[in-house]
Each structure stands twice: as structure tokens, then as C-alpha cells.
């Protein structure tokens, strides 16, 4: 075996280091999945509420929502986590590390999801709302039965893409000393004096996120095909 290949395998595919690191990596993967399971639906729900309020609200409501969207899209999620986890205790509000990470992810992604929903909802011709109102539907029922189903088809790809980014952003939880996948890999690397745990974490991220990436690509192709008709 060439010396360079032997050196590569020893540092990035060492079986002993992988065996020692596996319990930590499994724990980190589980916490990453928990963060995703809580932050993703909350972020989407917040974005949906923002989009609906923008579509149904008046000029002042829309202006406030635009400021909210721009503010939390402009803030790096890492900065948000520092403000939530480190800054809030100075005003008497201390959140557990998990809650702080979820809040930072939700605030940041509510801005992105909100913009996606806002753009999707206002893209539906206003005449459809007028027709629904003529049939006696309330604004909320019109939004739920007429506008939202069409908007979802138009924004499925951006929603899936942003969900993918949220999963990757869970790695910022390591700043709050949460043993998510990246932090667990770094701890294992320090214990084994070998970068194999980091390589394993990268592979775990790939296996977890690759189906989402393919889904996003498929949805984008559908959107392009629909737009070409």
C-alpha cells in the first residue's frame, strides 16, 4: 500500500478511533435530530403566520412584517444564539441551552420562511380572492382553501431548500455546549487524537441530508418545467 494512502486511512478512517467515537457520535446525531424536529416545524409555522398576516393585513402590518423579515434574515444565526444564550441572562431571562438554540434557529428561519410564504401568497392573482369573496367565503377561508394550496405548489422547492439549511445550522448549538453532532465529533477527536470522528460526522451529515438535497433538486426541476409551459 502506498505510504500516502496508508497515512490517509490512518488519519481519516481509523477503525479504533471510529469505534471509540461511535457512542458520542450517536448521541450527537440524536440531539441534532431533536433540534431539527422542534425548530423546523416551529420555524415553518412562524413563517406561515407571517406570510398570511402580510397577505391579509393592512399597510402598517405589512411594514412591520417587512422589518421583522429583514431583521432576522440579516442577523447571522450564530449571533442570535449568542444574544439569546449569553445576552438574555443580563436582563433576568435565562433559557436552557436546548431552548436557546431552538429559539435562535426559529427566529432566524422564521424570517426566511416568512419571506418564502409572503412571496408565494402574493403571487396568486388577487382576482381569485375576489371570486372567492363573491361566493361568500371569508378572507381566512379564502386563504386556507384557495390561496394556500396554490402557493404551496409554487414554493415547495424554496421551503425544502431552507429546511435543508436549517438542519445544517443546528451545528451552531455547539456554542451553547450542546453535544450535537459536530460538538460530539470534536470531543471524540480530542479524545482519540485522530480526525476520524470528524470524517464520520461529515459522512453522517451527508447520509442524513443527501435525500433532502435530491428532493430540492427534483422540486426545482418541476418548477422549471411548470414555468416553461
For residue range 13-63, list pLDDT tens digits in order. 778 888 888 999 999 999 999 999 999 999 999 999 999 999 888 899 999
Average pLDDT value for residue range 173-179:
85
Q: Is the pLDDT of residue 200 over 70?
A: yes
Report whether 105 contacts 47 (CB < 8 A).
Answer: no
In this structure, whether the domain defined by 39-175 belongs to CATH 1.20.1250.20 is answered with no
Query: Is it the case that residue 206 has pLDDT exceeding 80?
Result: yes
> Is residue 3 predicted with pLDDT exceeding 70?
no
pTM over 0.85: yes
Q: How many Å apart are CA 162 and CA 219, to the nearest integer?
A: 13
Task: Enter the DSSP assignment of 44.
Answer: H
Mean pLDDT of 108-116: 94
Mean pLDDT of the residues in the chain: 87
Q: Which three cell numbers stand for residue 107?
A: 427566529
Asked whether the beta carbons of 18 and 196 are under 8 A apart, the reply is yes
Nearest to 202 by CA among 19, 4, 28: 28
Amino acid at each position: 500500500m502506498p505510504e500516502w494512502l496508508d497515512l490517509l486511512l490512518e488519519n481519516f478512517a481509523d477503525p479504533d478511533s471510529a469505534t471509540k467515537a461511535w457512542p458520542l457520535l450517536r448521541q450527537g446525531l440524536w440531539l441534532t435530530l431533536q433540534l431539527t424536529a422542534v425548530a423546523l416545524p416551529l420555524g415553518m409555522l412562524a413563517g406561515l403566520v407571517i406570510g398570511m398576516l402580510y397577505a391579509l393585513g393592512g399597510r402598517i402590518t405589512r411594514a412591520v412584517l417587512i422589518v421583522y423579515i429583514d431583521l432576522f434574515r440579516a442577523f447571522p444565526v450564530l449571533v442570535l444564539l449568542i444574544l439569546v444564550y449569553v445576552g438574555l441572562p443580563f436582563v433576568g431571562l435565562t433559557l436552557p441551552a436546548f431552548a436557546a438554540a431552538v429559539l435562535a434557529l426559529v427566529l432566524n428561519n422564521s424570517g426566511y420562511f416568512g419571506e418564502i410564504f409572503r412571496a408565494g401568497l402574493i403571487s396568486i392573482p388577487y382576482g381569485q380572492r375576489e371570486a372567492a369573496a363573491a361566493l361568500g367565503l371569508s378572507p381566512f377561508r379564502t386563504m386556507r382553501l384557495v390561496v394556500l394550496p396554490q402557493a404551496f405548489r409554487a414554493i415547495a422547492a424554496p421551503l425544502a431548500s431552507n429546511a435543508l439549511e436549517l438542519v445544517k445550522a443546528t451545528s451552531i448549538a455547539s456554542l451553547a455546549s450542546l453535544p450535537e453532532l459536530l460538538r460530539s465529533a470534536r470531543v471524540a477527536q480530542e479524545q482519540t487524537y485522530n480526525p476520524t470522528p470528524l470524517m464520520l460526522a461529515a459522512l453522517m451529515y451527508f447520509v442524513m441530508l443527501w435525500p433532502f438535497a435530491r428532493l430540492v433538486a427534483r422540486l426545482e426541476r418541476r418548477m422549471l418545467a411548470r414555468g416553461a409551459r
